[in-house]
Structure 1
Amino acid sequence: MTAHSTKASKQERTVAVFGAAGHTGRFVVAELRRRSMTPIAVVRDPAKVTEFKERDVEVRGASAEDPDALDRALKGAAAVINCAGPFLATANAVASAALRAGMHYLDVTAEQPSAQATFDKFDHAAQEAGVFVIPAMGFYGGFADLLVTAAMADWNSADEIKVGIALDSWHPTQGTRITGEKNTARRMVVANGQLAPVSQPAAELDWDFPEPFARQTVVELPFSEIVVIARHAHSTEIRTYLNRTALRDVRDPATPVPKPADDAGRSAQVFLVEALVRKGGHIRRIAAQGRDIYAFSAPLICEAVQRILDGRARGNGAQAPGTAFDARDFLNALAPQHLSFTVSDY
C-alpha cells in the first residue's frame, strides 16, 4: 500500500465533530471511536478541553462565526457531525464549510426551522458535490422518520401518520434549555396535506403505549421529525405527541441536568417511540424502546455516517434518513444493543 492510499484510507474514516465538548458531542466522539473511526473534536476553546487529548483524540478550535477557522478545523475529514445547538445559529455555517470542503454534513437538530432551511439551501449544492446533507439525524427527527418509513414499508402514501413519544423523565441539558428559549418559531404539523401551525391550545389525548408506559396523556408537540417525514412521505396528516410527564419535566426550571447512571455515561432515562401509519382501515404500527435520548443520538447518527462512508446509502443531496437508508435494516443494526422494536400490522 502506498503512502498516498494510506492517507486517503484514513481520511475516509475521519469524522469531525463540531460541538464535541457538549453533552451529545461527547457521546458521538466515544461512539465513533467504538466503531474504529477517527474523530476530530472541534470545540470553541481547545484550552478548556483536556479530556479528548487524554484519549488521544485530536482537538481543533473553531466557532460558527469564523469561516476560516471552520475550514481549517474540518480539513482532512470525510464528514462532519454538528452537535452544537441552537442549530439555527450553527447549521448554516457548518454545512457551508462542509460543502466548501466537499464532505458530508449531518446534525442532530430538533428545530423545525433549522432542518427545513438546511434542506432548502443545500440540496442542489450537495447533489452537485456528490455528498449527503442530512439534518435532524438524532432522537428527535431522524429516528421517527426511520420508524415511520419502516412501518410504511411498501406503501407510497398514507392517510395519517402519528408519532407518540413517551419518556419516563426528561432531564434537559443546558443546550436543550438554551435552544428552547431561542427557538420561538411556531411549531408545524401536516394538516390536510399541507404544513400548518399546530393548533393552540395544543391538543391532548390518551395514548396506549406498550409496557412499561401503558396509557399516557400526551400533548401535541412536533419536533423536526415533521419536516423530515414530510420531505418524502406522502400523508394527509402528520402529527407528533409527547407524554405529559416529559413535558412537565422539561418545562420545570428546577429539573436538573442528566445524571450518569452507567460506565458509558448514560442516564437511567427510558424512552419509547411509537409510530402509527394508517391507510384506509389498515394500520401499521412500530414501537421502539431504548435508554437516554441524548446518548442514543450518538449510535443513531454514527450509524448513518458509517453507512454513508461505507457506500451503503442511496443517492446524495439533502435527504431524509428514510430515503438515504434502508430503514428496517438500519433499525436492525441498532438492535439489541441500543434499542428493541416490534412491528405490527392490523
Structure 2
Amino acid sequence: MSERSIAVVGPTGFTGGLVVDALLRRGMAVRLVGRSLDRLTSVAARHRNANPELCPVLEWERERIAEVLVGCAAVVSCAGPFVEAGRPVVEGAIAARVPYCDSAGEQPFIRWVYEQQNDAAQSAGVAVVPAFGFDYVPGDLGAAIAVDGLGPLRRVDVVYAVQAVGTSVGTRRSALGMLRAPCLQRVDGRLVVERLGARRRQVDAGFATVIAGSFPGGESLMLPRHLQVDTVITHVGLPGMLSPAGRWASVLPRVLSLPGLAPTLDRLVGRGAAGPGARARAGRVACHVEVEAEDGRRRAVLVEGTDPYGFTAAALAELATRMARGNVDATGSCAPAQVVDARGFLSATGYTVREVTPAG
C-alpha cells in the first residue's frame, strides 16, 4: 500500500471499527487515532497483516490532533458525541490541511461546521463534510435526485424509517445530547425551533406504511447549501414507543434535561450492547424524500437498503478513499451532494433509489 494513510479518529467504537474494516477492504493504509493506546492496540491486533499506525492523543485539542494528522491523505472521524469531542478534530484537520468527513448526527455540531468552519476550510483548500452516514446522506442525495428539472423548491419532506431498532453505545450517547438540544427545522427560509414530534407524516417505506414524527435532522442545514428551498422538515419513524411520532415525544426532552439526570443516563446507555445485533442490521431501512416545486409539481423518491451502520461505514470509507486519491474537488464545509454524484454514490454503497408516488 503505497498511498498515504487515511486517519480514523475514534476507531475503537462500533462505527469506527466498521470504517477501519471498510478502508482495509479497499486496500487503503490506515492510521488509528484515539485517546487510549491500549484500546488502539486492541484494534490493531485484529488487523496485524495491515499493520495500521497507532497515534494516541492524550490531550484532546486542536494542536495535538493536527500533529498526528499531518501527512494523512484524508481523515474520518467517528469520535462522538460530536458536540463534546468533534470540534478539535475538525479544527485539527483544517490546520493540517487534510480533507475531512465524519459520522456525526447531532444538529448543533453540523450547524457549527457549516457556519463557523467553512471559511477556514476554503482557505486551507480542503473539503469538510459532516454527517456523512445513514444520517443524513440518503436524505440529502435523495433530494438532489428528486429535484432534477423542477427548479426552485417550496418544500422538502424527508422521512427515515427502519424495520428494527438497534443502536451502538456512541449513537445512544449522541442521541441523549440531541434530545436535550433545541429541535431546528427550516420553515419559510428560516431556522425555527419546534418541539420533537411536532409534525407527523405518513409514507409508504416499502416494507411498511410508517407514521413518522419530526426530528432535528441534518437536511434543514444541508439542502440550502446546494438547493433553492424554503422549507425542509426531517422526520423519523421507528417501531414501538421510540418513535418521535409517539406520545412521549413532547415530554421526553424536558425529562432528559432534569437536573442531575444526565450522568445517570450516560452510565445506563453505556451498559447496553456495544452495537446492534444481526437481526437489527439485517432489517430493511428506507428514506422517503418528497419535494414540492414552487409551481406545485411534486416528486418523491425512496432510497432503500439494510444495515444503517454498514452503510455509514461504506459511505465514509468510499468518500475518504476518493478524497485520498484526489477525486473530490470541492473545498469548504460541504453537504453530501456537493462532493459526490447522488445516484452513482448510492449505488456504490449498496443502496437503491426509485421514484415513488408522492405522499402528499
Smaller-chain TM-score bracket: 0.7 to 0.9
Partner of 1:51 in structure 2? 43
- Tell me if the contact between 1:164 and 1:240 (Cα under 8 Å) persists in the aligned partners: yes
What CA distance in whole angstroms lies between the structure 2 residues aligned with 1:246 and 1:72? Answer: 46
TM-score, length-scaled by structure 2: 0.83
Partner of 2:183 in structure 1? 187
TM-score, length-scaled by structure 1: 0.86
Partner of 1:221 in structure 2? 215
Give 1:203-282 correspondences, 5 Å limit. Answer: 203-210=199-206, 212-213=207-208, 215-245=209-239, 248=242, 258-261=275-278, 267-279=281-293, 280-282=295-297
What letter is aligned with 1:218? A
- Tell me if the contact between 1:167 and 1:246 (Cα under 8 Å) persists in the aligned partners: no
Q: CA deviation at 1:223?
A: 1.5
1:106 equivalenced with 2:101 (yes/no): yes
What CA distance in whole angstroms lies between the structure 1 residues aligned with 2:233 and 2:312? Answer: 21
Cα gap change, 1:65 to 1:52, in 2 (>3 Å): same
Q: CA deviation at 1:327?
A: 1.6
What letter is aligned with 1:267? R
**Structure 2 residues not aligned, in runs of 5+:** 253-267
Taking only aligned residues, the RMSD between alpha carbons, in angstroms, comes to 2.6
Cα gap change, 1:206 to 1:66, in 2 (>3 Å): closer
Cα gap change, 1:67 to 1:238, in 2 (>3 Å): closer
Cα gap change, 1:323 to 1:74, in 2 (>3 Å): same
Cα gap change, 1:154 to 1:52, in 2 (>3 Å): farther
Q: CA deviation at 1:72?
A: 3.5
Partner of 1:3 in structure 2? none
Q: CA deviation at 1:87?
A: 0.7
**Structure 1 residues not aligned, in runs of 5+:** 1-5
Deviation string 1:208-260 (CA, Å, 9 cap, x unpaired) is 222x12x1221111322321123222212211111141661799989855444
Deviates more, 1:220-229 or 1:192-201: 192-201
- Tell me if the contact between 2:75 and 2:99 (Cα under 8 Å) persists in the aligned partners: yes
Cα gap change, 1:345 to 1:330, in 2 (>3 Å): farther
Q: CA deviation at 1:96?
A: 1.1
Give 1:127-146 correspondences, 5 Å limit. Answer: 127-146=122-141
Cα gap change, 1:310 to 1:155, in 2 (>3 Å): farther
1:342 equivalenced with 2:354 (yes/no): yes
Deviation string 1:105-129 (CA, Å, 9 cap, x unpaired) is 1111111110110112221121122
What letter is aligned with 2:120? A
What letter is aligned with 1:165? Y
Deviates more, 1:245-254 or 1:125-134: 245-254
SS in 1 for 2:181: coil
Cα gap change, 1:155 to 1:128, in 2 (>3 Å): farther
Cα gap change, 1:318 to 1:68, in 2 (>3 Å): closer
Cα gap change, 1:249 to 1:38, in 2 (>3 Å): farther
What CA distance in whole angstroms lies between the structure 2 residues aligned with 1:101 and 1:209? Answer: 42
Cα gap change, 1:246 to 1:306, in 2 (>3 Å): farther
What CA distance in whole angstroms lies between the structure 1 residues aligned with 2:277 and 2:188? Answer: 43
- Number of residue pairs matched by the alignment: 329
What letter is aligned with 1:282? R
Partner of 1:304 in structure 2? 319
Cα gap change, 1:121 to 1:247, in 2 (>3 Å): farther
What CA distance in whole angstroms lies between the structure 1 residues aligned with 2:14 and 2:197? Answer: 32
Cα gap change, 1:344 to 1:310, in 2 (>3 Å): farther
SS in 1 for 2:281: coil
Cα gap change, 1:328 to 1:314, in 2 (>3 Å): farther
Fraction of identical pairs, as percent = 26
Deviation string 1:264-283 (CA, Å, 9 cap, x unpaired) is xx832321111111113322
What CA distance in whole angstroms lies between the structure 2 residues aligned with 1:205 and 1:67? Answer: 41
- Tell me if the contact between 1:39 and 1:58 (Cα under 8 Å) persists in the aligned partners: yes
1:71 equivalenced with 2:70 (yes/no): no
- Tell me if the contact between 1:62 and 1:70 (Cα under 8 Å) persists in the aligned partners: yes
Cα gap change, 1:218 to 1:30, in 2 (>3 Å): same
SS in 2 for 1:296: helix
- Out of 119, 123, 126, the residue aligned to residue 121 of structure 2 is 126
SS in 2 for 1:267: helix
